[in-house]
Amino acid sequence: MIGSLGSVVFDVSSEHVRTLRDMKIQHSAKYSEHAIHGGKALLEFTGYSPASLSFSVRLDAGLGVNPKEELEALREILTSHKAVPFILDGEPQGDGLWALESIDESYEVIDSHGTFIAADVSLKLKEYIEAGKNGS
């Protein structure tokens, strides 16, 4: 197993291919700006923003997956508004759970019945830190 997002598993076997690509993680600090009359503003470190993560997944019937079912599982995570674990290489990523913020779907192959055969899906997640577990 490559990893998982909640109940959605990313793996490769002789029967199917469900892999991640173009994964990006953004970590950022937050600063407040204090105006100084007649001078440059001063910056004050105020904490960290939750990490952001994005990646793409190819859902292709030719690679042994059912794109419609896979998308339904991802949409369920989005519409349930529940934070889920994101696991890579057997390790939970980040300091907590992850909220699925958006799913961008690009349908590349659609058959003569209107069924999509292959799609590229881009996911955007934000680290979800439970109250009381944020270091404050």
- Of the pLDDT bands very low, low, confident and very high (cuts 50, 70, 90), residue 74 is very high
Percent of the chain with pLDDT over 70: 98
pTM for this model (two decimals): 0.85
Q: Which CATH number fits domain 3-128: 2.30.30.230, 3.90.580.10, 3.30.750.210, 2.40.30.200?
A: 2.40.30.200
Query: Average of pLDDT values for 67-95?
Result: 94
Phi-psi region of 81 (alpha: psi -120 to 50; beta: other; left: phi over 0): left
Q: Which residue has the higher pLDDT, 116 or 87?
A: 87
Distances from the Cα of 72 to the Cαs of 59, 66, 67, 79, 99, in angstroms?
A: 12, 10, 9, 10, 16
Query: How confident is the model over 89-113, as pLDDT tens digits?
Result: 999 998 889 999 999 999 988 888 8
Sequence ranges of the domains in the chain:
3-128
pLDDT number for residue 134: 67
